[in-house]
Amino acid sequence: MNKLIAVSGGTKGIGRAIVEEFVAKGFDAVVCARNRAELTSVKNELEQKYPGITVLVQATDMAVKEQVKAFAEYINSLQRPVTVLVNNAGYFVPGEIATEEEGALEKMMEANVYSAYHLTRGLVASMKANKGGHIFNMCSIASIKAYANGGSYAITKFALLGFSKCLREELKQDGIRVTAILPGATKTASWDGVDLPDERFMRSEDVAEIVYASYALSSRSVVEEILIRPQLGDI
């Protein structure tokens, strides 16, 4: 039976690239996103491109606790060990703390932090029982560097890095590795409308490749943080 990777927010950008990187290496995948049609498209495309693998999908709004828990329950119902969990779901809305829209912090905390917290809690017991697994949390340059107009997004990404550090300490004796991914500007839909050349951005595939490389290390080693920036620097 193929190993299994679970990815939240796996139909676009970095999440989509990570799904394909692991599927190309022989993993089955279980993927969630809000848009059911996009999930079906990803499933059909990858299963056709990589015969012998299975992509399972479930429409999920990762900002809604009940739906996150339902996604975890669906994964557990497969009765297959999760080898890799990628907490990728999240979004960015620019703004300043003093003037951003009311509720911006709460909404981004739900999507960017609570989603990872509840999905991990839903799956970690089975990972412990299997004495192994690898959890990747999609943090950001904004997890370590405050910047103008970062507002609540930066707050949530600082929190997600703290979550990763706590998980690392809690799970290392169980053979479960935890890695925080801190990518800089990557060419995804978040940057649509920005008038900058593609060379100023990283490729989603570059992030996916280094995620797989970190997973592929022996169980005696863990990459705790991956900091990856565009060659020409931050935007």
Range of the domain at 118: 4-228
Contacts of 218 (CB under 8 A, 6+ apart): none
Would you say residue 110 lies in a domain?
Answer: yes
Amino acid 188: pLDDT = 72
Binned average pLDDT, 10 residues per bin, the chain of 235 residues: 97 97 98 97 98 98 98 98 97 93 97 98 97 97 91 97 98 98 82 72 94 97 96 85
Would you say residue 161 lies in a domain?
Answer: yes
Amino acid 65: pLDDT = 98
Report the distance separating Cα 172 and Cα 179, nearest Å: 11
Contact 29, 10 (CB under 8 A): yes
Amino acid 193: pLDDT = 64
| Residue 108, H or E segment | helix 104-109
Give the per-residue SS3 of 187-227.
CCHHHCCCCCCHHHCECHHHHHHHHHHHHCCCCCCCCCEEE
Amino acid 108: pLDDT = 97
The catalytic site residues sit at 153
Contact 87, 136 (CB under 8 A): yes
The tally of domains found in the chain comes to: 1
Amino acid 228: pLDDT = 95
Would you say residue 234 lies in a domain?
Answer: no
Amino acid 185: pLDDT = 85
Contact 164, 143 (CB under 8 A): no
Would you say residue 87 lies in a domain?
Answer: yes
Would you say residue 233 lies in a domain?
Answer: no
CATH classification at residue 33: 3.40.50.720
